[in-house]
Structure 1
């Protein structure tokens, strides 16, 4: 039995992987993990004490270091590893063998003043060397039958298959038969499958010209007896998956062909030979904001609306198509932003975008948008069960490709809002969605603490934008303290009578009073964001210089928890949340904050421009973004963006 030929797949790593930097400390030893064979950069310059001119490096036997960008100091012949401390110098570190114990290996950097032979100024880092195995998937891959014109999951009772049109991109499985004449009079071949409810195998009963293909193995058909075999024949089958990997399905499917004697497949002793081939179901992959936009979907069109005019202008500037979704009879206009995430799936032969839809309304019978898409799009609808959980794919965020703790995430990591904050017991939410994302096994989800927010949406306090430098992106974090400092500065400069939200409603919020009543709120919200920042830095391998703090204020209020029925304190944005921006390449559609006007210019907008425009980004502040549309919510939830997929091939990821 021959599976489809697997294309030549050399492990493909981007040519410019970000190198992790280890930061030394003179106060106390830091710790790090160093995978064997991976080169890390040791920063010996940034935290060097003032007045020290040279340094020495020393490592344990499991580590190998190299010094570049500086000169050797020949003044101390007895110290063969002393180097001049110059801004251009760098130290690289590589692990040779795994450590025998946790943090049993080390690197020490000793700093010296001019002419000094001995020094107590030592920075130490304790290191654990680990061996990581790079094992890309080498077997055949099959796509999920989730075309927007089809039912998902497909109807198991539809067993006909048009091999003239549908077979182009389906993987093939070929049985090569070479046997004596009459051999199959007393023997037979039986195909079994590990997950017959998750796949369909199409074949024909009798060889002929253009034979009709039917489902021979799948739901309610756990095995298939191959009939009418010739002694010399290549019997062709087509394979398709019926569902993506999930909590109860790893995505690995094995087909076993058994050669039986006496045509008795019930007798295990009659098995003469058995061969097996394993397929992997192509996963669903989410796309980061930093990828170029292709098409914008809007669920609402309002004539003479500045928001719509700006969106149209954006789509032209970013060279992406603008599509208006037909009105839904049973869904709010916010469904495209709240309930849908647009990703993709692919094999070496075919790629198509897939809409992942977790509708909040049960029994979604009539949904015309799905039928308005191009036939080469996929659409997966996961209907609610009889519970109170609302899965919200629109509340997800995904990072750009990152390297953290020696592990490269070429497709980024999905960020999920969760109640996992120390000292609090928050009920789990999004259980089905979380299980689905973990099962894809390519974008290792990272759970953040978002239970302090009114909606629990991680996009309320973070987002990613592209940047025209070596890193390629920046993490934007909401910062109440940055906003407070900005307002405080304007107050000291004599602009204390300006107001927030002056152009939105009749409520005059004089920010001269922010310093007293809002300080407890600022501290509470800032603590939650700071906790998430520490998690992001550790799990995404980013540092302070990769983060931009966006001035944003929140207000706190008591609401009734729908699960516990208890009053809980939650935060919502005080003025339009600028983190809910629309990222279209270098064009950012940012909710207009309606901040204090200083000399006719919003000081909040001016601050944000000064932070983002040096990165090559264009800031466009959009009015009518705030949630003044009744039950429709902020305009941010009226849209979704289809983006260009990552170039990295998922089957080269460690699995």
Structure 2
């Protein structure tokens, strides 16, 4: 908001100036006064509010019929109530008096042209511009917070192949404008005044790279500010209200807090003297991940030469959820079936609009072009973060290593959008997700990341030992953790019951094992001990960082096999926590465990702990299509999920 201006007046001649509606302007009545003047009186026309400001401890307010003394502690302030319809149609008259004189010694006449100038945005986050309020230069979090919001315009409404709208330099179309935040400039007053006084909008050089502003004109949306343009003298076209549309160009990141500012000045054209300065702030909406507990909207799987039977099984499973299945063709995936690793679906949201956004991983294998060529489109955005040096990309930068919890409360602090989970070497390995990805995820602020220990695994992804499923009570979900100990306990129980000869991997073209064989295998037992310790470490982290108790966690039987150095663990049988969660329907890798009376004891155990939660378990054979290539059902699928109903700007960060 502008600092208070002061207009000097003189009794020698009339003074002409401009004032802004709702803005107080001081009238300097002391600059030029008649000789022997000791008192004054001031009057204004009905279009003005004239106020005498004084310190009651230093000045006594005059009685009725008396005049104000000429005392520098007394100030005159004028505030226009409405815009002028003609030049100089508002008047202020200051009359000066001597000690005993009843007639003025002289009068100063101030002729004002009042203009209504204001830059307004959706400060209250209701989806439309709120007019004429203050405090637009401050952005606050939480319910009741204030401040406008921008979407990164990262979808493709303009239909330019290979790039999103934020990269397109052409004019927006009607669909594109709907992604943008409206901003209205009020410039009401006699048209002639705007020939001499100018309206200028400015942004900093850094913000010019992060937003773009369009002015709505009769036949077009003209790019006027941002994207390297840092100043614009507004083309008013004799309009009282001028509509602009603002788009974000960058998501928050390590070097960008997410806040961008637009400054407005109303100033005299020849000497640049400022009548009004005003600022509005926008926060660029973050990218938000969605957990397994959110409703599925669309499932993706890749068609490759080795998985046709699996895709048939998956199609039947997905049909149960009435959710569409998008089968990525071989020409699109180029033999890369690990669609979970290539991309992570999330969304972005402002009060007026939201749409899904795919985060594209830097792994860049066969599916590298798919997120841009096939996912990016109208109301479906795209964002990526890649390091300058591609040689630094590791398996930890694949998105089987990136998950998010359901909403949690931790020591009284709410995370209503959950917390991002990232696999890491912690203090046992130097391997980490790439810095550019970690910086990006931290900068979104609303899903504070938690790091888990994952480099004990050969592939190194956290989806190899954990997942979340919906549940009807407690926190509304359960954390499923792979458990070698639970598997060994189950097998020992079955061995004691006389089933030590029951065979694992029966019917598969590979070496089979009995329960007795497994329980006698030193490498499996040693591997189980090492891997259980690593999983227990993650259990401890998640209990602390997600506010979980033991009742929130379910152990799922699993065995891993390490190499000769007791490192680089691989799933010994299809890993059942690496499942596809579609509401209450769970697509679980078929473990091919020992059968007792025709029933797999591993499947039976999993059903016994999950089906009482109202979940339906379907075991899918992914052995030859995924498991033997060190992945499972979750690794080979991906899901677009319904956004949270909770509004991210209501978070306390």
TM-score normalized by structure 2? 0.73
Residue 382 of structure 1 deviates from its aligned partner by 4.1
- Aligned match of 2:282: 279
Q: Secondary structure at the match of 2:619?
A: strand
1:548 aligns with one of 548, 554, 575: 554
- Aligned match of 1:463: 467
- Aligned match of 1:604: 602
Residue 568 of structure 1 deviates from its aligned partner by 8.6
Correspondence 1:579-590 to 2 at 5 A: 579-590=577-588
Residue 292 of structure 1 deviates from its aligned partner by 1.6
- Aligned match of 2:183: 173
CA distance in 2, matches of 1:263, 1:437: 48
Q: Secondary structure at the match of 1:477?
A: strand
Q: Contact 1:326–1:368 at 8 Å: present in 2 too? A: no
Correspondence 1:71-470 to 2 at 5 A: 134=142, 137-148=145-156, 149=159, 152=163, 154=165, 158-162=169-173, 164-179=174-189, 182-194=192-204, 195-203=207-215, 210-228=218-236, 230=238, 233-263=240-270, 270-300=273-303, 305-328=308-331, 331-361=334-364, 367=370, 370-371=373-374, 375-383=378-386, 385-387=388-390, 388-390=392-394, 391-421=397-427, 424-470=428-474
Q: Secondary structure at the match of 1:569?
A: coil
Aligned CA RMSD, in angstroms, stands at: 3.0
Residue 452 of structure 1 deviates from its aligned partner by 1.0
Q: Secondary structure at the match of 1:514?
A: helix
Taking CA–CA contacts closer than 8 Å with sequence separation of 6 or more, which of the two structures ends up with the larger relative contact order? Answer: 1
Deviations 1:555-579 (A, max 9, x none): 1126xxxxxxxx8922111111111
Q: Relative to structure 1, is the Cα distance of residues 320 and 430 closer, same or farther in structure 2, using a 3 angstrom cutoff?
A: same
2:620 equivalent to 1:622: yes
Q: Relative to structure 1, is the Cα distance of residues 260 and 395 closer, same or farther in structure 2, using a 3 angstrom cutoff?
A: same
Q: Contact 1:405–1:539 at 8 Å: present in 2 too? A: no
CA distance in 1, matches of 2:531, 2:223: 57
2:483 aligns with one of 474, 479, 482: 479
| More divergent stretch after superposition (295-304 vs 184-193) | 295-304
Computing the radius of gyration from Cα coordinates, the structure with the larger value is: 2
Residue 315 of structure 1 deviates from its aligned partner by 2.0
Residue 585 of structure 1 deviates from its aligned partner by 1.0
Residue 520 of structure 1 deviates from its aligned partner by 2.3
Aligned pair count reads 514
- Aligned match of 2:52: none
Residue 190 of structure 1 deviates from its aligned partner by 2.1
Deviations 1:305-360 (A, max 9, x none): 54223322222211211111233457443342111111111222222111111242
Q: Secondary structure at the match of 1:525?
A: helix
TM-score normalized by structure 1? 0.72
Unmatched segments (≥5 aa) in structure 2:
1-117, 128-139
Q: Secondary structure at the match of 2:348?
A: strand
Q: Contact 1:326–1:369 at 8 Å: present in 2 too? A: no
Q: Secondary structure at the match of 1:160?
A: coil
Residue 165 of structure 1 deviates from its aligned partner by 4.3
Q: Secondary structure at the match of 2:569?
A: strand
CA distance in 2, matches of 1:339, 1:365: 7
Residue 580 of structure 1 deviates from its aligned partner by 0.7
2:4 equivalent to 1:4: no
Q: Contact 2:301–2:311 at 8 Å: present in 1 too? A: no
Q: Relative to structure 1, is the Cα distance of residues 369 and 633 closer, same or farther in structure 2, using a 3 angstrom cutoff?
A: farther
Q: Contact 1:171–1:240 at 8 Å: present in 2 too? A: yes
